């Protein structure tokens, strides 16, 4: 099977991270010039550890490690979602709808690179949360689902920021509104989900500690302390999603040149870099609020298209059969939170991966439950 290519700059950073891991046994660094520096500054760091580690531990070429890693993030969630819906839904017709829905998602979404993390947690976790909610499972089963779900969400977060947080939010809303659980159990289950969600983040901090200890001894760098995950950089260039007279396009170079024109000394993705772009966004909002509102409107329209395309028959099922308030509220929380990256930046499927996967899961769940209810009403539940 031929997989798409990942971003060129990410591939070069992965090469550097692998070479460093093989030579000095230190994660999350690469050699630039004559010195080692942190890798993945201003970007999501998980892949810069896991892919080089996979290549090193199994003796794989970098390209193979990339394909195995992202291949796992592609197919494992589909299989897990299939399993979750398979035990939730009763009839063969509803289960057939699951296969069609997941097949439609795989064939049309075509997500790759770190953006796969956006759909990973949604597909892996939500079907099992819905199963637990509907079937009234035992406490240990709830805890098993929530602990594994928390880990899946946490590691998805490391690959792509906030990719798992949206699913955690879904779970918290579903638990909080579950009338079948008393306050003590709700608190226990929410705590379990949050604790296991934080474990992967602790893993990353441990790896960063190894890196920082090495760098402080060898080069004494503090560069990492001045940089982090960029927010205003993608928001600024995201304004170029529609034509405008301000010369803004969805290209990194546009933001670099804008910052350099104001402060040539600002380090990319540093606090100063981000502050300049934030100020530019607010200046545009003050100068031309219509431009900002038009951006938001056009992006929301694109998201509505995704919701209809991937939720498809689920919307008809919702209108005809309805859905319980806790589940509707959980999906609504997921939809709003997962839509934010698209509204703030661009509504392409990569940025909307969580929203697209959430729409798919909603469509499968709503239509599948409606099929089961219809067949049960007609006395044909096993068909």
Q: What is the pLDDT of residues 279-292, one digit of tens each?
A: 999 999 999 999 99
pLDDT of residue 34: 77
pLDDT of residue 371: 94
Exposed, middle or buried, 374 (CB in 10 Å: 0-12/13-18/19+)? middle
The residue-averaged pLDDT of 198-206 equals: 95
The residue-averaged pLDDT of 165-172 equals: 98
Rounded to whole angstroms, the Cα distance separating 170 from 167 reads 5
The residue-averaged pLDDT of 202-216 equals: 91
pLDDT category of residue 322 using cuts at 50, 70 and 90: confident
Token pair recorded at residue 377: 């009403």
Contacts of 330 (CB under 8 A, 6+ apart): 170, 171, 173, 174, 177
Is the pLDDT reported for residue 27 higher than 70?
Answer: yes
Q: What is the pLDDT of residues 50-77, one digit of tens each?
A: 999 999 999 999 999 999 999 999 999 9
Say if residues 191 and 5 touch (Cβ distance below 8 Å): no
pLDDT of residue 165: 96
pLDDT category of residue 220 using cuts at 50, 70 and 90: low
CA separation, residue 267 to residues 42, 236, 248 (Å): 11, 17, 20
């Amino acid at each position: 099977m031929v997989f798409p290519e990942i971003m060129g700059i990410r591939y070069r950073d992965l090469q550097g991270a692998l070479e460093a891991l093989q030579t000095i046994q230190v994660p999350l660094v690469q050699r630039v010039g004559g010195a080692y520096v942190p890798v993945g500054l201003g970007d999501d760091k998980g892949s810069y550890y896991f892919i080089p580690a996979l290549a090193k531990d199994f003796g794989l070429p970098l390209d193979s490690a990339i394909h195995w890693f992202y291949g796992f993030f592609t197919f494992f969630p589909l299989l897990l979602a299939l399993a979750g819906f398979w035990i939730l839904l009763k009839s063969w017709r509803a289960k057939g709808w699951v296969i069609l829905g997941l097949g439609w998602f795989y064939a049309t979404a075509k997500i790759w690179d770190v953006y796969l993390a956006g759909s990973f947690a949604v597909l892996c976790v939500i079907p099992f949360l819905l199963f637990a909610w509907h079937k009234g499972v035992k406490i240990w089963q709830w805890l098993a689902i929530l602990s594994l779900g928390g880990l899946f969400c946490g590691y998805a977060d490391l690959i792509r920021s906030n990719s798992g947080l949206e699913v955690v939010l879904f779970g918290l809303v579903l638990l909080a509104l579950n009338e079948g659980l008393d306050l003590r159990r709700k608190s226990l289950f929410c705590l379990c989900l949050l604790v296991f969600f934080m474990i992967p983040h602790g893993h990353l901090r441990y790896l960063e500690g190894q890196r920082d200890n090495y760098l402080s001894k060898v080069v004494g760098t503090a560069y990492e302390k001045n940089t982090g995950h960029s927010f205003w950089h993608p928001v600024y260039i995201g304004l170029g999603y529609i034509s405008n007279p301000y010369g803004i396009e969805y290209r990194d170079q546009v933001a670099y040149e804008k910052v350099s024109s104001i402060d040539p000394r600002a380090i990319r993705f540093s606090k100063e870099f981000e502050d300049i772009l934030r100020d530019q966004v607010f200046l545009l909002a003050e100068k031309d609020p219509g431009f900002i509102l038009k951006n938001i409107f056009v992006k929301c329209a694109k998201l509505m298209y995704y919701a209809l395309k991937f939720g498809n028959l689920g919307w008809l099922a919702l209108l005809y059969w309805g859905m319980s308030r806790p589940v509707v509220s959980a999906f609504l929380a997921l939809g709003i939170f997962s839509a934010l990256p698209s509204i703030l930046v661009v509504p392409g499927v990569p940025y909307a991966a969580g929203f697209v996967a959430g729409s798919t899961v909603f469509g499968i769940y709503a239509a599948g439950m409606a099929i089961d209810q219809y067949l049960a009403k007609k006395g044909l539940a096993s068909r």
